[in-house]
Amino acid sequence: DSGVTQTPKHLITATGQRVTLRCSPRSGDLSVYWYQQSLDQGLQFLIQYYNGEERAKGNILERFSAQQFPDLHSELNLSSLELGDSALYFCASSVERGGSYNEQFFGPGTRLTVL
């Protein structure tokens, strides 16, 4: 158990819908990362938040957005869903002590199926 929790574990929805994925980082970790794992694209970085602020963006679609709340949990919002958005979405957290190596701990993932 990494200490990172993600809910829900599974999500099945229809095209055009909107869903919210939730992540709670390990206690004390300030940084949250979101990754998408799909069969065709592999594991891709989507976005990073640090202590409530967006720090880096990767291959995140405009239909997707995220935020990190004052209690440090994060939500990934996916809207106007398409079949191709079906994937496993991982959240990872790290403590982010400046200048040194910071291990990312991964949650169990949310499997999204768009029908």
How many residues make contact with another protein (CB under 8 A)? 27
CA distance 109 to 104: 14
* Comparison of 27 and 97: residue with beta carbon closer to another protein: 97
d(CA 77, CA 1): 25
Instruction: Enumerate residues 47-66 that contact another protein by CB under 8 A.
Output: 48, 50, 55-56, 58
Pairing of β 110-114 and β 74-78: unpaired
Which among 18-26, 38-46, 63-71, 76-84 is the span making contact with another protein, rule CB under 8 A?
38-46
Q: How many CA atoms lie within 13 A of 109 on its CB side?
A: 13
**Residue 30 CB: number of other CB atoms within 10 A?**
17
Task: Kindly state the smallest distance separating residue 107's Cβ from another protein, in Å.
Answer: 6
Question: Is 73 one of the binding residues for another protein (CB under 8 A)?
Answer: no
By the rule CB under 8 A, 42 interacts with another protein:
yes
DSSP per residue, 55-75: EEE-S--TTEEEEE-TTS-EE
The least CB distance from residue 45 to another protein, in Å, is 4
Give the footprint of another protein on this chain (CB under 8 A): 2, 4, 31, 33, 35, 42-45, 48, 50, 55-56, 58, 90, 92, 94, 96, 101-109
